[in-house]
Amino acid sequence: MAVKMQLSGKEKASDALPLPLYLTNGVFFTLFFSVVYFLLLRWREKIRNSVPLHVVTLSEISAIVVFLASFIYLLGFFGISFVQSLILPRAPHDDEDDDILIDDLMLNEDSRTAPCAAAAPPTKIVAAPIEPLPEEDEEIVKSVVQGKIPSYALESKLGDCRRAASIRREALQRTTGKSLAGLPLEGFNYEAILGQCCEMPVGYVQIPVGIAGPLLLDGVEYSVPMATTEGCLVASTNRGCKAILASGGATSTVHRDGMTRAPVVRFGSAKRAAELKLFLEEPLNFETLSLVFNSSSRFGRLQKIKCAIAGKNLYIRFTCSTGDAMGMNMVSKGVQNVLDFLVSQFPDMDVLGISGNYCSDKKPAAVNWIEGRGKSVVCEAIIKEEVVTKVLKTNVAALVELNMLKNLTGSAMAGALGGFNAHASNIVSAVYIATGQDPAQNVESSHCITMMEAINGGKDLHVSVSMPSIEVGTVGGGTQLASQSACLNLLGVKGASKEVPGSNSRLLATIVAGSVLAGELSLMSAIAAGQLVKSHMKYNRSSKDVTKLST
C-alpha cells in the first residue's frame, strides 16, 4: 500500500536518483559483475596457493563491500518492480484515442457492464468517517433494533432527518449484521427528500456526472450532464456532439406535449360502459369536463380524452398539459376531480383504480409509442461528408445501410416496441438521473426511431430521432434536490419558467432528444466502422490496409 501511495502520483521513485534510471542500473550492474569476477579470480588464486579464504586483503574487502552494495541495490530495484507489477494499475497509454473508447462502447451496447470499468482495478471504497453515536441516540438505536420504535417513525419522532437517517442506518447494520461502510451518510440534505423523494433513508449512492458537449441545438450550445457508471458512454456521446457541432448543429421540435393518466371503471353491463364512452367522447361534454379537471391545478389543462372498452370495463386516457412539471401528480389530481364528477352522472360506475395501465406509466406499451406521452420530440441534423469521415470515421453509405438493417429491419425482426434505435435508453437514463427525472420512465421515454438517409447526391447524411414519449419536468420530484438542480441550472432550465410555463421542461425534452441524436450517431458509426473492417477482411482481402478504409 505504501509503495502504491508513493508511486501512484506523477513522481516516480527513480526521480530521486542523481542519474537517469537506466544509467544508475547500468553502473550497478557493471559494478556487481566486475566485483564478482574479481572475487572469483582471487578465490581461485588462494585455492591454488593454499591461502585460507578468510585471509583477505584491503582490495578484497573493498570488493566485498561493493558486491554487497550493488547486490542490495539490484535486489531492491527488481523487488519493487515486481511488487509494482502486481499491485499498480496499468497506466493508460497517452495515445489511446476515441476509437478504442467507442469500440468498447460498441461491444457494450446492450449491457450495463462497462468494459472500461472492467479493465480498471477495483477501487478501494473509503467510507467518510462517521461520528460515534451520542449516548441518547444509542438508546434509540436499541429501541429500533428491539422493534419498540418503528424505523419509519424516526423522522417525525426526532424532528431531525439527518439524525433519523444515522440512527436507522446503525440499527440496520446491527439487525442485518452487514456493514454499510462505503455508503455515505454525511454531505446530504435529508430534509430535502422528506415526504417527497425517498422514505427511510440510510445514506445515498454516488454516481459520477460526466459532461458531453457542446451540443449545438437550435442555435444554442449546451453542456449535457450525464450521470452514469457505464464507461465510454459520455465519451461516445461527446463524439456525436462534436460531429453535430462541426456540421452546423441540430434542430428540434416539440410537436406534442401532454401527460396521461387512465383510470379503469366498471359497470354492471358492457352497454353502460359504452354509454360512458360515448358521453366522454361527445365534444359538447368536453368543456364541462375540462372545467372540472382544470380546477385542480394552475397548470394542468385537459387536452383530450381517449377511451378503450373491454367488456364491462372502460379505460379512460386523459391527456393534459402540465407546465414545467413532468405532471403525474398533476394529471392524477385532475382525473380524480373528473371521476368524482362522473359518479354523480353515472352512479352505477365503480372506480376500480385511478390507474388502469392504459396510461401507460413505466411499462412498454404501444399506446405511448403511437399516441405519445409527455413530450413528443423530433430532432434532426445534416452531417457533412467530411465530418462523417474525419470525426465519425466511417462513411455515409455504411451508416445508412447499417441503420436500415439494424435499427429498422433488425428491430422489426425482434418485434421491437419503440426500440428502433441503437441505444437511446443509455443517454436518456444518464440525463434523467443527472437532472432529477424519474429514471423508471426510461422505459417509454427511450422509445425512439432513428432514421438515416444519404442526401446531397449521397455525400451528406440526414439523421433524425423521433421520440414520442419524453417524460421530463423541471419542477417537482427529484428536480429540486441540490445536485440535480445544479445540472438543470447548467442547461439553463432550472425550475419553473417565468415567461412561458412549460417552456423549461419542453426545452429539456429537446436537449434529451439532441443528446440521443449524438449518441446514436457515435455508436452507429463505431459499429459501421467495425463492420467495414470485417467485411473488407472477408470479401476484399487483397486491399492493402483495410483499417485505413474505415478510418
Question: Which residues are known catalytic residues?
Answer: 230, 362, 438, 536
Question: Of 455, 515, 446, whose CA–CA distance to 217 is shortest?
Answer: 515
Binder of ligand ADP out of 161, 215, 264, 330 (CB under 6 A): 330
Question: What does the buried/exposed string (b/e) look like for 147-164 if buried means 16 or more CB atoms within 10 Å of the residue's CB?
Answer: eebebeebbeeeeebbbb
Whichever of 10 and 298 has its CB closer to ligand ADP, that residue is 298
329 forms part of the interface with ligand ADP (CB under 6 A): yes
Query: Does 184 engage in binding with ligand ADP (CB under 6 A)?
Result: no
State the minimum distance, in angstroms, from the CB of residue 481 to ligand ADP.
Answer: 13
Q: Are 272 and 242 in contact (CB under 8 A)?
A: no
Q: Which residue has the cell 421542461?
A: 505
Between CA 244 and CA 158 the distance in angstroms is 53
Q: Which stretch binds ligand ADP (CB under 6 A): 128-136, 325-333, 442-450, 543-551?
A: 325-333
SS3 track for 47-60: HHHCCCCCCCCHHH
Distance CA 14, CA 19 (A): 9
C-alpha to C-alpha distance for 420 and 322, rounded to whole angstroms = 28
Q: Which three cell numbers stand for residue 3?
A: 509503495
CB of 473 to ligand ADP, least distance (A): 5
CA–CA gap between residue 424 and residue 543 (Å, rounded): 35
Instruction: In angstroms, give the least distance from the CB of 254 to ligand ADP.
Output: 15
Apex 528 CA angle, 526 and 534, nearest 5:
105
Q: Which stretch binds ligand ADP (CB under 6 A): 77-85, 144-152, 204-212, 495-503?
A: 495-503
Q: Which DSSP category does 404 fall into?
A: I
Return the DSSP state at 475.
B
SS3 453: strand
Whole-number minimum distance, CB 329 to ligand ADP, in Å? 3
| Nearest residue (CB) to ligand ADP, 145 versus 496 | 496
Q: Kindly indicate which of the ranges 125-133, 216-224, 267-275, 324-332 contains the residues binding ligand ADP, using the contact rule CB under 6 A.
A: 324-332
Q: Where are the beta strands (DSSP E) in 228-312?
A: 250-261, 264-266, 301-310
Segment lying near ligand ADP (by CB under 6 A), choices 169-177, 183-191, 456-464, 493-501: 493-501
Q: How far is the CB of 374 from ligand ADP (least distance, A)?
A: 10
Torsional sign, CA 494, 499, 505, 509: negative
User: Cβ atoms within 10 A of the Cβ of 401, count?
Assistant: 15
Part of the chain binding ligand ADP (CB under 6 A), chosen from 61-69, 261-269, 318-326, 536-544:
318-326
Residue from 209, 328, 377, 443 in contact with ligand ADP (CB under 6 A): 328
Interface of this chain with ligand ADP, residues 461 to 480, rule: CB under 6 A: 473, 475-477
Q: Which is nearer to ligand ADP, 243 or 507 (CB)?
A: 507
Looking at the Cβ atoms of 168 and 261, the one nearer to ligand ADP is 261
Which of 167, 320, 326, 377 is close enough to bind ligand ADP by CB under 6 A? 326
The nearer residue to ligand ADP, 262 or 388, going by C-beta atoms, is: 262
Q: Which residue is nearest to ligand ADP (CB)?
A: 323
Nearer to ligand ADP, 98 or 471 (CB): 471
**Contact with ligand ADP (CB under 6 A) among 327, 372, 374, 468:** 327
Rule CB under 6 A: is residue 419 a binding residue for ligand ADP?
Answer: no
Nearest to 505 by CA among 479, 541, 534: 479
Nearer to ligand ADP (CB atom), residue 54 or residue 298: 298
By CB under 6 A, residue 236 contacts ligand ADP: no
For ligand ADP, the closer CB: 502 or 519: 502
Q: Please spell the DSSP secondary structure of 327-366, one letter per residue.
A: -HHHHHHHHHHHHHHHHHH-TT-EEEES--SSS--SS--H
Q: Taking the alpha carbons of 498, 217, 226, 421 in that order, is the dihedral positive or negative?
A: positive
CB atoms closer than 10 angstroms to residue 444: 28
Chain centroid to Cα 433, Å, comes to 7
Asked if 323 is part of the footprint of ligand ADP (rule: CB under 6 A), the reply reads: yes
Q: How many residues bind ligand ADP (CB under 6 A)?
A: 19
Task: Fill in the amino acid letter for 4.
Answer: K
Map residues 260-299 to x or -, x wherever contact with ligand ADP holds by CB under 6 A: -------------------------------------xxx
Question: Residue 156 corresponds to which cell in the numbers above?
Answer: 417525525
Footprint on residues 496-535 left by ligand ADP (CB under 6 A)? 496-497, 501
Query: Where does this chain bind ligand ADP (CB under 6 A)?
Result: 297-299, 322-330, 473, 475-477, 496-497, 501
